[in-house]
A and B are shown apart, each in its own frame.
Chain A
Amino acid sequence: MKLVTAIVKPFKLDDIKTALDGVGTHGLTVSETQGYGRQRGHTEVYRGAEYQVDFVPKVRVEVLVEDDDVERVVEAIVTAARTGKIGDGKVWVQTVDTIIRVRTGERGADAL
């Protein structure tokens, strides 16, 4: 099993959710986060006082999938999240030892 983590532009979240529904994932976890990559931050000006804002608001999407589904899920996220402009984000995949469904105690792929 794999954990797919995507850091994306917040306004792309709905598109990603729709795309993931289309490839048959059963759930996802979303959190608001911030950071920077090559995009860096931006500047703000308040009554002439200029500020450099280093961290850009992003959304982190996490999805647990079976090994066979990884490519389709990653492709769905990347396609849905892409604008072609700097700051589109990153997606990475990690191996997961096991997964447990809290309600039933099921383990492994059964818990997805």
Chain B
Amino acid sequence: MNSGDTAWVLASAALVLFMTPGLAFFYGGMVRAKNVLGMLMQNFFCMGIISVLWMLVVFSLAFGDDHGGLIGGFDFAGLSGLTHAGASLPGYTGALALTVPPIAFVAYQMMFAVITPALITGATADRLRFVGFAVFAGLWAVVVYAPVAHWVFSPNGWLAQRGALDFAGGTVVHINAGVAALAVVLVVGRRRGWPADAMPPHSLPLTLLGAGILWFGWFGFNAGSALGANALAAQALINTHLAAAAAMLGWLVVERLKDHRATTLGAASGAVAGLVAITPCAGFVNAAAAVVIGLLAGAVCFLAISLKYRFGYDDALDVIGVHLVGGIAGSLLVGIFATRSVNANGADGLLAGGGLHLLGEQALAVAVTMVFSFTVSLALAKVVDMTIGLRVTPDEEVEGLDTTQHAEAAYNLRELGSMGRIG
């Protein structure tokens, strides 16, 4: 055990946790005022339900004793056997041996599982029934997140064994959530009035605040994935920052050329697109590559958000355009820019003389994650929709999620109200 490494992983767990309320505000500012609490709640609630499920069973399924590279066992269910001295996790041996207590790793990885289903809520904004979402998110963590995390993050997972690289969750988090978002959107359908009616963001200051919190927390997400306080963590941290910065520029330049204005929402969105794209790359590439990855991600994701109008799916807050497309871009760019000079446990991509092998493994991991997550998420959303109901009624949708789902209003601005206490 190394106390410096442990301190950094514990601090990173807190940083990653903070991303979920950050995401809530990033999304919450973009919805209409009648739905902002509904959006904040769907995100905030993930901190509750997913954390408890993680402790009970999801960690064990993701990182427990391997079964054919496909799934972990139930040996760590309830986190049993992890607290005693000398506890270890399967697969973390040799060069990958943990220098932090397994329970610190459990806490750190928990925060990834929390934010991943929360990412989906942006696509389905303004129309999910809270109870339906709660059940969907919990089941999704078990049947979708746990297996994909095992395949890619666990050293015993079949994609990791083949050599696919995902430093902090390009496939496991962003492609996984992004493609699941597409599946759920196809099940619940469009918002009433989309795309003809105006649905402008109700508070871009909240969105920029949320983007700032995400950016801050992302240092824990990516640099924490070094699982130590070391040179690799520092490289991942500066790569993360540079990619976000460059992606903001990339997005704004294309936006200025196409729409004639550089917008605050564009600056926030571009930064997040860069953070998404650098996530799989952060600990495998150098700083110059991080800037190129960021610039590409900003420009590509800006262009990708218009796809929903062409194909007619209502990805309300562009989860597919930013997280799925950004995740795919980053995961594939690992195959171009990865170099063992940054991370000896990584691999050499195309530009480092490694040929096309790594790019092929990356493409396979992307394709497998997309097919699996889309299929299972679609089926799960269908089942929840048919049994519990995943979408609010038309009346509830018009009135808004805040009052219909939570019996609250976000903004009680008028003192001359007609509000009298009845209970």
Q: Which residues on A are within 8 Å of B, measured CB to CB?
A: 44-51
Contacts and interface: CB of A to CB of B under 8 A. Distances in A.
Contact of A47 (B195, B198, B305): B305
A43 B248 CA distance: 23
Nearest to A52: B198
Contacts of A45: 259, 261, 263
A47 B265 contact: yes
Contact of A48 (B200, B201, B259): B259
Contacts of B269: 47
Main secondary structure of the interface of B (DSSP, over half): loop
Nearest to A44: B200
Contacts of B80: none
B65 to A, nearest CB: 45
A50 B259 contact: yes
B306 interface: yes
Interface string B254-266: 0100110101011
A48 B260 CA distance: 10
Contacts of B198: 51
Interface residues of B, number: 16
Contacts, number: 24
A72 to B, nearest CB: 34
A49 B306 CA distance: 9
Contacts of A48: 255, 258-259, 302, 305-306
B266 A47 contact: yes
A46 B305 CA distance: 11
Interface of B: 195, 198, 200-201, 255, 258-259, 261, 263, 265-266, 269, 302, 305-306, 318
B31 to A, nearest CB: 12
A48 to B, nearest CB: 6
A104 B71 CA distance: 83
Nearest to B251: A47
Given A45-B263, A46-B265, A48-B306, 20 more contacts: A45-B259, A45-B261, A46-B200, A46-B201, A46-B263, A47-B263, A47-B265, A47-B266, A47-B269, A47-B305, A47-B318, A48-B255, A48-B258, A48-B259, A48-B302, A48-B305, A49-B195, A50-B259, A51-B198, A51-B200
A46 B263 CA distance: 8
B199 to A, nearest CB: 8
24 contacts: A44-B200, A45-B259, A45-B261, A45-B263, A46-B200, A46-B201, A46-B263, A46-B265, A47-B263, A47-B265, A47-B266, A47-B269, A47-B305, A47-B318, A48-B255, A48-B258, A48-B259, A48-B302, A48-B305, A48-B306, A49-B195, A50-B259, A51-B198, A51-B200
A48 B262 CA distance: 11
B374 to A, nearest CB: 24
B395 to A, nearest CB: 25
A48 B301 CA distance: 12
Contacts of B265: 46-47
Which one of A44, A45, A46 has the highest number of Cβ atoms from chain B below 10 Å of its Cβ? A46
A13 B279 CA distance: 50
A50 B305 CA distance: 14
Which one of A46, A47, A51 has the highest number of Cβ atoms from chain B below 10 Å of its Cβ? A47
A44 B260 CA distance: 11
A49 B302 CA distance: 12
Nearest to A43: B261
A95 B198 CA distance: 41
Contacts of A50: 259
Contacts of A46: 200-201, 263, 265
A44 B266 CA distance: 13
A55 to B, nearest CB: 12
Contacts of A47: 263, 265-266, 269, 305, 318
Contacts of B305: 47-48
A2 B255 CA distance: 52
A44 B269 CA distance: 17
A34 to B, nearest CB: 15
Nearest to B198: A51
A101 to B, nearest CB: 22
Contacts of A44: 200
B253 to A, nearest CB: 14
B326 to A, nearest CB: 14
A48 B263 CA distance: 10
Nearest to B266: A47
A40 B262 CA distance: 23
Contacts of B258: 48
A47 B273 CA distance: 13
B195 to A, nearest CB: 8
Contacts of A51: 198, 200
A45 B195 CA distance: 14
A46 B201 CA distance: 8
Nearest to B322: A47
Which one of B198, B201, B261, B269 has the highest number of Cβ atoms from chain A below 10 Å of its Cβ? B198
